[in-house]
C-alpha cells in the first residue's frame, strides 16, 4: 500500500452547523485522544491524539460527525504526515475556515514520538 495516500477513510460523514457568531473571530479548540490508524509498512496500529484549533467563518464542524470521520481511519494504512494533511484538507474543504490547525501527536514507535502539524490561514492574534 502507498503510505502517502489515505484510502479507506470516509469524509462523507462530516457535517456542519451554522456559526452562531460569524461576525466575530473566536478560537474553537478540541482534542481527540483516541485516534487510530495503521502503519503502512508493518500493519501495526498507530495511536495518536489529534488536536484541532480553528476560527470558523460561516460553518462549524459537528462533533459527532467528526468522531465518525476519525473512526473511519482505524484500518487505514498511511504515514502520519499524510493523515494529518488529509484531515486538514478535508476540513478546509468542508468549513472554509478563516484559520485551521490540525496537530497529530503519535505515540512512540521504534523509540520515536512523532508530532505533525498542518495549518491553513494565519493563526489568530
Domains defined for the chain, CATH in brackets: 26-120 (3.30.1130.10)
**Residues 15, 32, 39, 60: which is the catalytic one?**
39
| Distance (Å, whole) CA 40 – CA 15 | 28
Please say if 39 is a catalytic residue. yes
Please say if 15 is a catalytic residue. no
What does the pLDDT look like over 60-117, one tens digit per residue?
999 999 999 999 999 889 999 999 999 999 999 999 999 999 999 999 888 899 999 9
Sign of CA dihedral 90, 91, 97, 103: negative
Quote the pTM value.
0.91
Residue 119, C-beta contacts closer than 8 angstroms, at least 6 positions apart: 88, 99, 100, 101, 102
Q: What does the block give as the cell for 46?
A: 498507530
What does the pLDDT look like over 9-40, one tens digit per residue?
889 999 999 999 999 999 999 999 999 999 99
Amino acid at each position: 500500500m502507498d503510505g502517502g495516500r489515505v484510502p479507506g477513510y470516509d469524509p462523507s460523514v462530516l457535517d456542519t452547523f451554522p456559526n452562531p457568531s460569524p461576525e466575530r473571530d473566536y478560537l474553537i479548540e478540541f482534542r481527540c485522544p483516541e485516534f487510530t490508524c495503521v502503519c503502512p509498512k508493518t500493519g501495526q496500529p498507530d495511536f495518536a491524539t489529534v488536536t484541532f484549533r480553528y476560527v470558523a467563518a460561516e460553518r462549524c464542524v459537528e462533533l459527532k460527525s467528526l468522531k465518525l470521520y476519525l473512526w473511519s481511519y482505524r484500518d487505514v494504512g498511511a504515514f502520519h504526515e499524510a493523515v494529518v494533511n488529509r484531515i486538514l484538507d478535508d476540513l478546509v474543504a468542508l468549513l472554509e475556515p478563516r484559520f485551521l490547525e490540525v496537530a497529530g501527536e503519535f505515540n512512540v514507535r521504534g523509540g520515536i514520538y512523532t508530532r505533525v502539524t498542518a495549518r491553513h490561514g494565519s493563526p489568530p492574534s
